[in-house]
Amino acid sequence: MAKNQQVSTMIRSIILAGLFIALGAIFPQIFHFIGGQAVGRMLLPMLFPILISGFFLPKWYALAVGILTPLASHLITGGTMPPLFPNMAVMMVEFGLIAFLVSALPIKNPFEKLIISLAIGKLTTLLLGFALASASAALIPIQTFVVTQLVGGPMLPTGSLPGLMWQIIAVPLIVKVLQTYIKRGGLNEN
């Protein structure tokens, strides 16, 4: 019976990972269609399914969602151009993995977990970027990099503040609704 449970959990995780990857590839296109690229950059729609995946998937699946979503976005919709893959993959993996790790904390409130995830994610992005900027100081002045990462920058454009606020409001609500749905027998784990 335990073997059947493992297989069932694995199949469920693969299906959910595929769903989160597909949503992460398609959401930006919906936002770009509705309000142009500026709306997509501002609201960070690819990050939503990746953050949510960290609350519902084992860490290796959440990691895969973070890595594969930018690639799927490019292959399915032509979004996330190849030069951006490394940055996007690192950022998406980072947030998916951090959301998974934070979801394991004994904190009940998904809002608090998300705030912790976003704060750790931003700090990690800043530290990784600082290390890269230090290694290539001739290309990017370190002060410029640090300032742009604190107030915005390529990983988190200044105009994305509405997206962060939207994530802080919507992701915990979505997680709570999905958790309630699962407890009532939806996405049955058996």
CA atoms of 58 and 64, how far apart (whole Å): 10
Collect contacts of 123-131 with beta carbons under 8 A, ≥24 apart: 124/94, 124/98, 125/90, 125/91, 125/94, 125/149, 125/155, 125/156, 126/150, 128/90, 128/94, 129/153, 129/155
Q: Which domains occur in the chain, in start order?
A: 2-183 (1.10.1760.20)
CA atoms of 46 and 27, how far apart (whole Å): 6
Higher pLDDT, 182 or 87: 182
* Type of residue found at 135: A
**pLDDT interval class at 156 (50, 70, 90):** very low
**pLDDT interval class at 42 (50, 70, 90):** confident
pLDDT winner (highest mean) among 19-28, 31-40, 59-68, 143-152? 19-28
Return mean pLDDT, the chain: 76
| The predicted structure's pLDDT at residue 157 | 44
